[in-house]
Structure 1
Amino acid sequence: MELHKINKPLDAINTILSYFPVSQPSLLEPGQTLPIKSKNDRSCRKIYFLLEGALISSVGEEEKKQNLGIIMGPSIIGLTQLAPTSAIAQHKAIAPCMIDSISVEDFIKVVEENQLWPDVINIMVTIINSLAARTATSGLQSAYEIIRSYLIYMDSENACAIKERYTVVKYMQTFSRLSRSIILKILSELKAGGFIEMHKGRLIRINRNLPDRF
């Protein structure tokens, strides 16, 4: 599955949020990190409701850190804690975020009482598909294939306003391990060939189908 073909399950998210009236909203400023406890720390496990704003999700530390994607409100964060074991991601605000939260136990209770598991599963399947698509992109053999995939995603994505928020180089360096020089070289040749239009480093549009090979 290609990343640009995965749609955010807004109906499922809004259905679930309708059962959780905002109780104690807090503001997360850009650069601040959302605290999600590890699976073994059962003292304060929470599901977070991102009502407004944007977060970048990542796993690992320092040179092993891997950015997974951008999360825009409305979203529900921390659903992996419902599984017996889970990888714990970090979430850093890249725009002011309005956050509310509830304990995992209370979340499960409301979900069970209102038969919301199909909506929860819908959201989790979308997350899994997105991660699988990003992993497949990262595993492509050539730098051009990676750049092509991200260009198509940036051109078709609307929810996160990625084309306005990021330059092409910054976005690709954020979500891939390609060097700046490689990215610039391929983008320059695509521009020269009339395949893409850019302004001040930002993608304006893809003018015609990008070739499968370069």
Structure 2
Amino acid sequence: MDLRHIEKPRDSIEKILSHFSISKPCLLEPGQTLPIKKRGENQSRKIYFLLEGAMIGAVGENEKKQNLGIVVSPSIIGLGQLSSAGALAQYESISPCMVDSVSVDDFIKVIETQRLWPDLINIMIATINQLAARSAMSGLQSAYEIIRSNLLYMDSETTCTLKERYTVVKYMQTFSRLSRSIILKILSELKAGGFIEMEKGKLIRISRNLPDRF
């Protein structure tokens, strides 16, 4: 499974959002986090609507923290709350974000009365596929294979404007556990071989087909 081939179900997202009125939207500045559910806290479960901006989702804490991916508006966040166990996850804004929320009970009520389950399933399947693709990517055997997969994704992705938002090294460190020295060494060799073009640390383009092995 390849991240480049997973399409965001935008029509389903917008269809669901159209059935909810914007009540109390809040603005999150870059670096602020949006908790879905915190361990040990008895707080109401909520579904969040990302109306504007982009966030990065993660699970775990400190050295065990694992970034899951970037979420760009419009998006529905926290669907794991539909299960009784909930989801121990948080989202950090990487741009100014406008967010609204609704209780899980109210969300389910609208989904049921408006018969929106097929659209909700489309969204959840896309999310599962993205997580599966990232898991497969992180399980690749060599550092080069991980870097190659991420370069291909950065070059083809347009929704998150990754090439403008991140330097290649920063993106690789965000979504892999590779060391900076290994990343720089492989990128330097790819540049010297004429495979990639970079400027000020950012990917401009992939100039030649990246080899399967390096």
The answer to whether the superposition gives a TM-score over 0.5 is: yes
Tell me, what secondary structure is at the counterpart of 1:48?
Answer: strand
Q: CA deviation at 1:86?
A: 4.2
- The runs of at least 4 consecutive aligned structure 1 residues that moved more than 4 Å come to 38-43
Equivalent in the alignment of 1:4: 4
Equivalent in the alignment of 2:124: 124
Q: CA deviation at 1:38?
A: 4.8
When normalised by structure 2's length, the TM-score is: 0.96
Percentage of matched positions with identical amino acids: 72
Q: Residues 57 and 89 of structure 2 are in contact (CA less than 8 Å); yes or no, is this contact kept in structure 1?
A: yes
Equivalent in the alignment of 1:82: 82
Equivalent in the alignment of 2:177: 177
Tell me, what secondary structure is at the counterpart of 2:105?
Answer: helix
**C-alpha distance in structure 2 between counterparts of 1:27 and 1:11, whole Å:** 24
**C-alpha distance in structure 2 between counterparts of 1:38 and 1:166, whole Å:** 29
Going from structure 1 to structure 2, the CA distance change for 1:115 and 1:43 (only over 3 Å counts) comes to same
Equivalent in the alignment of 1:17: 17
Q: CA deviation at 1:94?
A: 1.0
Equivalent in the alignment of 1:95: 95
Spell out, residue by residue over 1:3-47, the C-alpha distance to the aligned partner (whole angstroms, 9 max, x if none): 111111101100000001211111011111112225986641110
Letter in 2 for 1:33: T
**C-alpha distance in structure 2 between counterparts of 1:112 and 1:97, whole Å:** 28
**C-alpha distance in structure 1 between counterparts of 2:39 and 2:45, whole Å:** 8
Equivalent in the alignment of 2:198: 198
**Structure 2 unmatched ranges of 5 or more:** none
Equivalent in the alignment of 1:112: 112
**C-alpha distance in structure 1 between counterparts of 2:12 and 2:38, whole Å:** 26
Letter in 2 for 1:187: L
Provide the aligned length of Structure 1 versus Structure 2.
214
When normalised by structure 1's length, the TM-score is: 0.96
**What CA RMSD, in Å, does the superposition of the two structures yield over aligned residues?**
1.3
Equivalent in the alignment of 2:138: 138
**Structure 1 unmatched ranges of 5 or more:** none
Spell out, residue by residue over 1:166-202, the C-alpha distance to the aligned partner (whole angstroms, 9 max, x if none): 0000000010000011001111111111111111100
Spell out, residue by residue over 1:133-154, the C-alpha distance to the aligned partner (whole angstroms, 9 max, x if none): 0000100000000000000000
Q: Residues 37 and 87 of structure 2 are in contact (CA less than 8 Å); yes or no, is this contact kept in structure 1?
A: no
Spell out, residue by residue over 1:74-119, the C-alpha distance to the aligned partner (whole angstroms, 9 max, x if none): 1000111112334421101111100111000000000000000011
Letter in 1 for 2:101: S
Do structure 1's residue 212 and structure 2's residue 201 form an aligned pair?
Answer: no
Q: CA deviation at 1:203?
A: 0.3
